[in-house]
Amino acid sequence: MKIKNFAAIKSFKGESQSTWGVSMITLALSCSSFLGVSSSWAQSPALPSTPVVASVNGKVIDAKAFEQIIKNNVANGLQDNEQLRSAVKDELIVRQVMVQEFTKLGLDKNPEAISGLNFVRENFLIDFLLRQHEQKHPLTEEAIKSEYERQLGLIGEPGEAKQYLTRLIVLPTESEARGVIAELKKGADFAKLAAAQSIDATKKNGGELGWVLPAQVLPSIGTVMVNLKEGTFSALPIQTPSGWYVIKVDETRPFKIPSLEESRNVVIQTLQQLQRQAYIQELIKSAKIVK
């Protein structure tokens, strides 16, 4: 999301956990076996031999995948202890049992299943690519401070302005965004859908962007935002250069100028989004595209 200004942001809440206390989304996005159920689903190179955590009908769960999942959960606020490790191991075992049954029944040849995996795989690859780019181009403290001061100069007097505690789900296509809206209308949880399907960095926080002013976001998004009541979401997808957005307003409040520390997360997200958009545009320009 392109943010043109800044606002204070609430502390992020931890992701929802499964009945074993482990994020299903974290597991889904970090377990290599999930992206390679069978060769007909994803042509992935074989992993090098690694220590085995457990095995199911001869199919091993290697330590490398296990440790990556532990690392992801710790990054999301959980403690690395025996309880977490036991829970992760148990969940990986159950998942492997279910994956094997899926393949045994021949469902890996089902067109709908193949299409679904391709969608998950593409989202994973896009997210991974963008995260890798961010790691290679880390933001400096000087850049963060400079962006804060730039935005501070744009604000002027806060007046009667309102801030909106906003969540968002970003999808690659309009049809996928309409599918998400259809699920929301049926009562699906916005945060869970964001974590599972959004291609935006806010997915790890259930889509929470934080407190923003309408002027901080793209006009097409700001116009929808100010017309949403607390607890409601956009009825139609919003097209932007970086994808199709579905937004939700959790709360509103009068605006007051935040300090650098209060607005740090949003300033960082602003810079990251600008960085991502520049990278995406660079890739598009270098690609041979036929419409």
Contact indicator for 208, 202 with CB cutoff of 8 Å: yes
Task: Say which residues have a Cβ less than 8 Å from residue 170's Cβ, sequence separation at least 6.
Answer: 1, 198, 199, 200, 242, 243, 244, 245
Are both 182 and 214 inside the same structural domain?
yes
Range of the domain at 211: 141-286
Are both 154 and 178 inside the same structural domain?
yes
Distance (Å, whole) CA 212 – CA 252: 9
pLDDT band at 155 (very low <50, low <70, confident <90, very high): low
Are both 117 and 159 inside the same structural domain?
no
**End position of a domain, from candidates 81, 97, 132:** 132
In a domain, 17, yes or no: no
pLDDT at 29 over 50: no
pLDDT at 13 over 70: no
Contact indicator for 145, 260 with CB cutoff of 8 Å: yes
pLDDT at 197: 93
Q: Of 201, 222, 202, which Cα lies nearest the Cα of 212?
A: 222
Distance (Å, whole) CA 157 – CA 209: 23
Are both 171 and 259 inside the same structural domain?
yes
User: Which range (149-158, 232-241, 246-255) has the least confidence?
Assistant: 149-158
- The residue-averaged pLDDT of 184-213 equals 92
In a domain, 14, yes or no: no
The encoded tokens of residue 143 equal 């850049």
Over the stretch 241-283, which tens digit does the pLDDT of each residue have? 888 999 999 999 988 778 888 888 888 888 888 898 899 999 9
pLDDT at 125 over 90: yes
In a domain, 3, yes or no: no
- Please state the pTM of the whole predicted model: 0.48
pLDDT at 157: 63
Are both 145 and 281 inside the same structural domain?
yes
In a domain, 291, yes or no: no
Are both 178 and 276 inside the same structural domain?
yes
Which has more pLDDT, 131 or 6?
Answer: 131
Please tell me the total count of domains within the chain.
2
**End position of a domain, from candidates 114, 132, 150:** 132
Over the stretch 131-145, which tens digit does the pLDDT of each residue have? 999 999 999 999 999
In a domain, 85, yes or no: yes
Are both 40 and 149 inside the same structural domain?
no
Contact indicator for 27, 66 with CB cutoff of 8 Å: no
User: Which range (83-92, 161-170, 256-265) has the least confidence?
Assistant: 256-265
Distance (Å, whole) CA 171 – CA 243: 6
In a domain, 6, yes or no: no
Are both 100 and 146 inside the same structural domain?
no
Which has more pLDDT, 182 or 18?
Answer: 182
Distance (Å, whole) CA 197 – CA 172: 10
How far does Cα 105 stand from its chain's mean position?
A: 32
Percent of the chain scoring above 90 in pLDDT: 49
Are both 151 and 184 inside the same structural domain?
yes
